[in-house]
């Protein structure tokens, strides 16, 4: 075998410790597949004394993560610090600046600075691996960048956040409200003490911006992603969705159109019989549509020590083999300049739930507003009568324009008989 590949790891949390453990326990198998041994030679973290469940004996220690980039006993840097700024960005820039390959699980870093880092990697002629940044142990980066490289991708869609998928699954199965299930998810460790990054859709949007760049050969554009979370999804909406034949999922969707690329994260209703509808609990899934391969569907655990460490080590094996692929699937000067399509230009079908006072004329007022916006209805649900009291009315539209539906909602909300802002959930056909 040729010379061993020496690895420096910054960040020894759950994933970092998992990488150390995987490289130690599967050392012989990895060396066989990589063509040479891959060993950790140096690490950096905030607390040297903390017990991480793995031995750090024999590793060089750096209090300053950036020092890993300049360590002569480190051939490749693994960044597992997290966050788009600070030491994570400093280390990534330093490693590439001195010509060392970089492996990262940091979706925020790539979403915000991916274009800059890709140019630096290209200038240094070194690899930038990030399989672990999207969907944990699911090899979606390799699938898009390599397995589907000969295809024109028309659409990528996925369940990209396990916390949200867990919450929506439990809400449906146990008929419980959002805040109640969120509290349980926090107690079980599925949600952070401050869960906003997950439940407001930001985590999924970071990942989607990366997938969109790969799928459509364009620079990563986090600013162009439309982002909505799941805070306003109610148990009532989940119940109506079930009655209508749908499941509610937080989806990331990137789709190429004549006007550019739609890149959006939001709750969506998907038919029960579709692949994404069946993905429950903390699992992630990604669906890609290629013009020759057809639909490719990948599902698995999107987080955790084992799955994420597995993805990090897969990148290290590629580097050990000498595999070197452009970061976004093509060199910087060959990337597309397709713009992000504004959300107002989206066309589709919509679920609307209104809480109204049960009195004569309410439905006539609502349908008049929809008619003025040229919105027609496919179906309507109203269960029972409670004269003078609040009742839900559910409307499902035919295909219409996002701008029109937003204008209609603003006008409906202004009606005296409508008691709260109408709930809107977009319907995805597959």
- Do 160 and 302 form a contact (C-beta atoms < 8 A)? yes
144 and 245 share one domain:
yes
17 and 112 share one domain:
yes
152 and 239 share one domain:
yes
Q: 115 lies in a domain?
A: yes
Q: What is the mean pLDDT of residues 350-355?
A: 96
Per-residue model confidence as pLDDT tens digits over 227-245:
999 999 999 999 999 999 9
Closest CA to 206 of 218, 222, 190: 222
Report phi then psi at 298, rounded to 5. -125, 135
101 and 148 share one domain:
no
Per-residue model confidence as pLDDT tens digits over 273-322:
999 999 999 999 999 999 999 999 999 988 888 999 999 999 999 999 99
Q: Which residue has the higher pLDDT, 353 or 303?
A: 353
CATH number for position 295 = 3.30.360.10
Closest CA to 317 of 66, 32, 97, 25: 32
44 and 82 share one domain:
yes
58 and 196 share one domain:
no
**Can you name the residues that pair with 40 across neighbouring β-strands?**
7
156 and 40 share one domain:
no
- Do 60 and 80 form a contact (C-beta atoms < 8 A)? no
Q: 316 lies in a domain?
A: no
Residue with tokens 């940044």: 133
400-401/347-357 β-pairing? antiparallel
- Do 282 and 250 form a contact (C-beta atoms < 8 A)? no
| pLDDT > 90? residue 169 | yes
pLDDT cut 70: percent of the chain above it: 100
Which residues are marked as active site? Answer: 207
Q: 189 lies in a domain?
A: yes
Q: 152 lies in a domain?
A: yes
10 and 103 share one domain:
yes
Q: 10 lies in a domain?
A: yes
227 and 120 share one domain:
no
**Calpha distance 310→31 (Å, rounded):** 15
97 and 175 share one domain:
no
Overall domain count for the chain: 3
Domain of residue 366: give its range. Answer: 344-427
| pLDDT > 50? residue 222 | yes
pLDDT, residue 1, reads: 45
34 and 83 share one domain:
yes
Q: 246 lies in a domain?
A: yes
157 and 271 share one domain:
yes
């Amino acid at each position: 075998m040729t010379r061993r590949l020496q690895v420096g790891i910054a960040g020894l949390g759950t994933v970092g410790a998992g990488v150390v453990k995987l490289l130690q326990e599967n050392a012989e198998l990895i060396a066989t597949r990589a063509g040479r041994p891959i060993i950790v030679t140096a690490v950096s973290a905030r607390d040297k004394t903390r017990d991480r469940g793995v031995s750090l004996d024999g590793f060089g220690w750096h209090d300053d993560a950036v020092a890993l980039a300049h360590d002569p006993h480190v051939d490749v840097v693994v960044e597992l610090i997290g966050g788009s700024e600070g030491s994570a960005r400093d280390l990534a820039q330093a490693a590439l600046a001195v010509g060392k390959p970089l492996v990262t699980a940091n979706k925020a870093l790539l979403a915000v600075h991916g274009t800059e880092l890709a140019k630096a990697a290209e200038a240094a002629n070194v690899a930038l691996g990030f399989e672990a940044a999207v969907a944990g142990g699911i090899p979606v980066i390799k699938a898009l960048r390599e397995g589907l490289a000969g295809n024109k991708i028309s659409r990528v869609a996925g369940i990209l956040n396990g916390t949200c998928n867990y919450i929506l699954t439990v809400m449906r199965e146990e008929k419980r409200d959002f805040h109640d299930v969120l509290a349980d998810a926090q107690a079980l460790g599925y949600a952070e003490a401050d869960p906003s990054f997950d439940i407001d859709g930001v985590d999924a949007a970071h990942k989607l911006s990366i997938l969109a760049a790969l799928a459509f050969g364009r620079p990563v554009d986090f600013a162009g992603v439309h982002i909505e979370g799941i805070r306003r999804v109610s148990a009532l909406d989940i119940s109506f969705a079930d009655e209508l034949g749908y499941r509610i999922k937080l989806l990331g969707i990137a789709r190429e159109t004549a006007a550019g690329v739609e890149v959006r994260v939001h709750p969506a209703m998907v038919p029960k019989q579709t692949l994404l509808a069946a993905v429950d609990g903390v699992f992630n899934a990604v669906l890609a549509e290629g013009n020759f391969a057809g639909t490719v569907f990948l599902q698995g655990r999107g987080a955790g020590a084992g799955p994420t460490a597995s993805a990090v080590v897969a990148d290290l094996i590629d580097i050990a083999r000498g595999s070197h692929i452009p970061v976004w699937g093509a060199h910087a000067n060959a990337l597309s300049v397709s713009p992000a399509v504004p959300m107002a230009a989206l066309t589709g079908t919509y679920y609307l739930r209104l809480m109204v006072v049960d009195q004569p004329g309410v439905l006539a007022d609502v349908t008049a507003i929809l008619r003025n916006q040229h919105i027609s209805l496919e179906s309507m649900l109203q269960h029972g009568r409670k004269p003078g009291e609040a009742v839900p009315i559910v409307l499902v539209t035919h295909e219409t324009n996002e701008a029109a539906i937003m204008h209609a909602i603003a006008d409906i909300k202004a009606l005296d008989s409508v008691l709260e802002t109408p709930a809107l959930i977009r319907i995805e056909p597959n």
